[in-house]
């Protein structure tokens, strides 16, 4: 018997064993590797993570699910009740206190594997792609529409796709039908893997993201209009720079690739 899902927590429990097996396969977990699971739910994904040899740090917000997880896993996982954004503070190395121990998460030395509540997909990506301690990779079950946006190419780029592709290599692992969940959601899903690029550190990428945010501020306008006045940039500067990059000076933000955003930023500010 599945516990009643709560709309307030955007709960849809992943139950399809084929999908769970594919997630584990894509996660490439090494025995003893630290894995952070966000929103453990009833523990179906938690179980296959444990079976794969992961040291699971499970963070669950729903207090009604804590006894279920505690009874099922006992000391085989480290369980924390709370909001993921409160549980994991920022810092190159952070300490998380459970009821029995203190766990240290270090930059690039853990993975995130989770069927996350879809309502917090963008905040999760923003937090763990750009703020330390960042994982080495994230394997997430998200809405298929969001996965499509992340994997977009010109002329269909969005700020989301630019940001995700700036910080990491993104790939779709598999598509997931509605029937893989209980209760059945209204949308299909997809499993995505994000491998963070070690040389794309936040201090270098954040200024590029700020430029892209301004570039996407008005989707129907050409890029030189949107960037006019941003940190003193003029429309003429933008047009001339775009031409030097081999681009049409009338180009819109959705036509630029992440490397082109990096090139544009470098040419405008260095």
**Residue 12 known to bind ligand:** yes
Say which residue the tokens 């298929």 belong to.
144
Q: Show the tokens assigned to 162.
A: 């630019």
Query: What gap in Å lies between CA 250 and CA 253, rounded to an integer?
Result: 10
DSSP 64: T
> 115 among the known binding-site residues?
yes
Q: For 157-224, what is the HEC assignment? A: CCHHHHHHHHHEEEEEEEEECHHHEECCCCCCEEEEEEEECCCCCHHHHHHHHHHHHHHCCCCCCCHH
Under the phi-then-psi rule, with left for phi > 0, alpha for psi from -120 to 50, and beta for the rest, what region is 26? alpha
At which residue do the structure tokens 């930023």 appear? 265
Q: Residue 143 and residue 260: Cα distance in Å, rounded? A: 27
Question: Any binding-site annotation on 62?
Answer: no
Structural element, H or E, at residue 88: none
Annotated binding site for S-adenosyl-L-methionine: 12, 14, 39, 60, 83, 115
Binding site per annotation, positions? 12, 14, 39, 60, 83, 115
């Amino acid at each position: 018997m599945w516990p009643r899902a709560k709309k307030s927590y955007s709960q849809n429990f992943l139950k399809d064993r084929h999908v769970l097996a594919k997630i584990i396969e894509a996660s490439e977990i090494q025995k003893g590797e630290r894995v952070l699971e966000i929103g453990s739910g009833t523990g179906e994904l938690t179980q296959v993570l444990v079976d794969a040899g992961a040291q699971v740090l499970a963070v669950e917000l729903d207090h009604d699910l804590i006894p279920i997880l505690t009874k099922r896993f006992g000391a085989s996982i480290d369980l924390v009740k709370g909001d993921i954004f409160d549980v994991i503070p920022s810092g190159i190395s952070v300490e998380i206190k459970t009821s029995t121990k203190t766990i240290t998460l270090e930059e690039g030395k853990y993975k995130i594997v989770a069927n996350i509540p879809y309502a917090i997909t963008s905040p999760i990506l923003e937090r763990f792609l750009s703020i330390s301690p960042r994982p080495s990779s994230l394997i997430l079950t998200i809405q298929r529409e969001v996965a499509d946006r992340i994997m977009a190419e010109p002329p269909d780029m969005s700020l989301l796709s630019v940001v995700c592709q700036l910080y990491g290599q993104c790939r779709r692992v598999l598509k997931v039908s509605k029937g893989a969940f209980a209760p059945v959601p209204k949308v299909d899903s997809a499993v995505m893997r994000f491998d963070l690029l070690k040389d794309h550190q936040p201090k270098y990428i954040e200024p590029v993201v700020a430029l892209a945010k301004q570039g996407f501020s008005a989707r129907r306008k050409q890029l030189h209009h949107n960037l006019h006045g941003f940190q003193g940039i003029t429309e003429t500067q933008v047009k001339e720079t775009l031409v030097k990059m081999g681009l049409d000076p009338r180009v819109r933000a959705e036509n630029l690739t992440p490397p082109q955003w990096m090139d544009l930023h470098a040419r405008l500010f260095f």
